Amino acid sequence: MHLKRILTAAALLPLVFLLIWVGSPLHFAAVVATVAGLMAWEFYGLLGTRFGPLPRPVGILLAAGVAGAPGLPAGAEGALLLLGFAVIVTAVTLLLRAGSLEHGLGQLAATLLPVLYAGGLLGFTAALRRLPGGREYLLYLLAVTWAADTVAFYGGKALGRSPLSPRVSPSKTVEGSLAGLAAGAIVSVLFQAMVGGTLPWWSAALLGLLITAAGQVGDLAESLCKRSAGVKDTGRLVPGHGGLLDRLDSLLFAAPVFYLMVRLRWL
């Protein structure tokens, strides 16, 4: 398993770097939309048939559209309006088709949750790419998030003694979480130094801690979803890692936090 994780990372990381550095914001948005659609597909698999038949193809397309729209040029607002219209049509259809209002609302919530979780959260990466300096922002976010994930995983395996949240994820430990937080802070400081950033080291370390903490919340949230569904992994699309939701769970929560900091000029 560990060899698969390493080989997968070694194969994917250069591709991700090339996509961010060489590809245009539109190219990046297209890939983000595709990934969000696949993640929504995995999420519908977690939901199963507990809410009855759901319009999964519609939900997958909505998730892809919501994720990719922030990366479009000036037409992003129009695309979001069209997506909003599609959501309204979906809601009306489900409510009219359901036997009761309670059942219809349950189906609507189950349909839209993967859209918001996979599409809405991942869309912040497409929004980051369109900002001035978007390449550097994205590389920084990925470096901090994935370094923290890796160190937390292997640090927890080697040093873990105290369960972090046994009801949500028995394998996660306090020691692994602290190791991940430390790694996020260190990588943040090192990245700032490498690119000649203007943040003092303590501000860079604090930024890394906040991003890593948000990512760990995302990790726990995804673990809660898997535990509720009674599965270990959300899929098999990423060898050694599980599904795309398993690989990107931290990024989904870290990206909105980082985007907000950038837009508020806290950096």
Q: Which helix (H) or strand (E) holds 116?
A: none
**Strand 169-173 and strand 163-165: pairing?**
antiparallel
pLDDT at 202: 92
pLDDT at 74: 62
Among residues 85, 81, 72, 69, which one has the least CA distance to residue 119? Answer: 69
Please compute the mean of the pLDDT values over residues 204-208 and round it to a whole number: 95
Q: How confident is the model at residue 2 (pLDDT cuts 50, 70, 90)?
A: low
Q: How confident is the model at residue 84 (pLDDT cuts 50, 70, 90)?
A: confident
pLDDT at 105: 86
Is the distance from CB of 236 to CB of 243 less than 8 angstroms? yes
Question: Residue 7 carries which side chain, given as an amino acid letter?
Answer: L
CB-side neighbour CA atoms (13 Å) of 225: 22
Residues of the chain with pLDDT > 70, as a percent, come to: 96
Please compute the mean of the pLDDT values over residues 72-98 and round it to a whole number: 76
Taking the C-alpha atoms of residue 95 and residue 91, their distance in angstroms, rounded to an integer, is 6
Residue 77 CB contacts under 8 Å (≥ 6 apart), including other chains: none
Residue 223 CA, chain-centre distance (Å), reads 13
Q: How confident is the model at residue 77 (pLDDT cuts 50, 70, 90)?
A: low
Among residues 234, 247, 222, which one has the least CA distance to residue 145? Answer: 247
Question: Residue 186 carries which side chain, given as an amino acid letter?
Answer: I
Please compute the mean of the pLDDT values over residues 155-177 and round it to a whole number: 88
pLDDT at 147: 95
Q: State the average pLDDT for the chain.
A: 89
Q: Give the pTM.
A: 0.92
For residue 182, pLDDT over 80 is answered with yes
Report the SS3 class of residue 163: strand
Query: What is the tens place of the pLDDT at every residue in 13-69?
Result: 899 999 999 999 999 999 999 999 999 999 999 998 888 888 899 999 999 999 998
pLDDT at 100: 79
Q: Tokens for 105? A: 């609302």
Sign (positive or negative) of CA dihedral 216, 222, 226, 229: positive
Per the listing, tokens 């995983």 go with 153
Q: How confident is the model at residue 204 (pLDDT cuts 50, 70, 90)?
A: very high
pLDDT at 8: 80
pLDDT at 129: 95
